[in-house]
């Protein structure tokens, strides 16, 4: 398995460096690569905070990258669900990921974050 870091994905998506963006494209397009969830969260953070990319665009861009299977990630459905939450709320990607663990994996999420607790309660269907 080949694992890539956030910088390779960022250079690929942003296409902002003549040498590194080309290398990133060759890596991503010519071999099977895995992006760890932690690195994927870093990509989201950098796109938002450093490059001022808006949330819906980040959601679309990363969803497309995963759906086209250019990059693999552990539990892709979980991360895609987190991106969906991230793209439509003000939660950071880690809180969105925690919410997705609750929704997809049925994990109990313990947090002192009242806003996240409330969102989990509001978006969880009662048991049948």
The pLDDT of residue 127: 54
| Rounded CA Rg of the chain | 16
Q: Where are the alpha helices (DSSP H) in the chain?
A: 6-14, 20-30, 37-49, 55-67, 76-88, 93-105, 114-123
Kindly state the DSSP code that residue 30 receives in the 8-state scheme.
H
Can you say whether the dihedral through the CA atoms of 59, 60, 63, 69 is positive or negative?
Answer: negative
The pLDDT of residue 124: 79
- pLDDT, average across residues 112-121: 96
- pLDDT, average across residues 44-66: 97
pTM: 0.92
- pLDDT, average across residues 88-116: 96
- pLDDT, average across residues 43-63: 97
Distance (Å, whole) CA 67 – CA 44: 16
Question: How much of the chain, in percent, has pLDDT values that exceed 90?
Answer: 95
Q: What integer best gives the mean pLDDT of the chain?
A: 95
């Amino acid at each position: 398995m080949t694992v890539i870091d956030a910088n390779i994905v960022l250079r690929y998506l942003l296409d902002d460096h003549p040498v590194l963006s080309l290398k990133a494209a060759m890596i991503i397009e010519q071999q099977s690569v895995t992006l760890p969830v932690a690195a994927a969260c870093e990509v989201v953070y950098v796109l938002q905070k450093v490059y001022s990319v808006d949330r819906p665009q980040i959601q679309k861009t990363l969803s497309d990258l995963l759906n086209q299977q250019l990059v693999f990630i552990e539990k892709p459905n979980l991360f895609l669900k987190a991106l969906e939450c991230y793209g439509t709320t003000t939660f950071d990607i880690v809180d969105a990921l925690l919410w997705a663990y609750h929704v997809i994996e049925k994990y109990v999420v313990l947090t002192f974050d009242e806003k996240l607790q409330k969102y989990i309660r509001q978006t969880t269907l009662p048991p049948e």
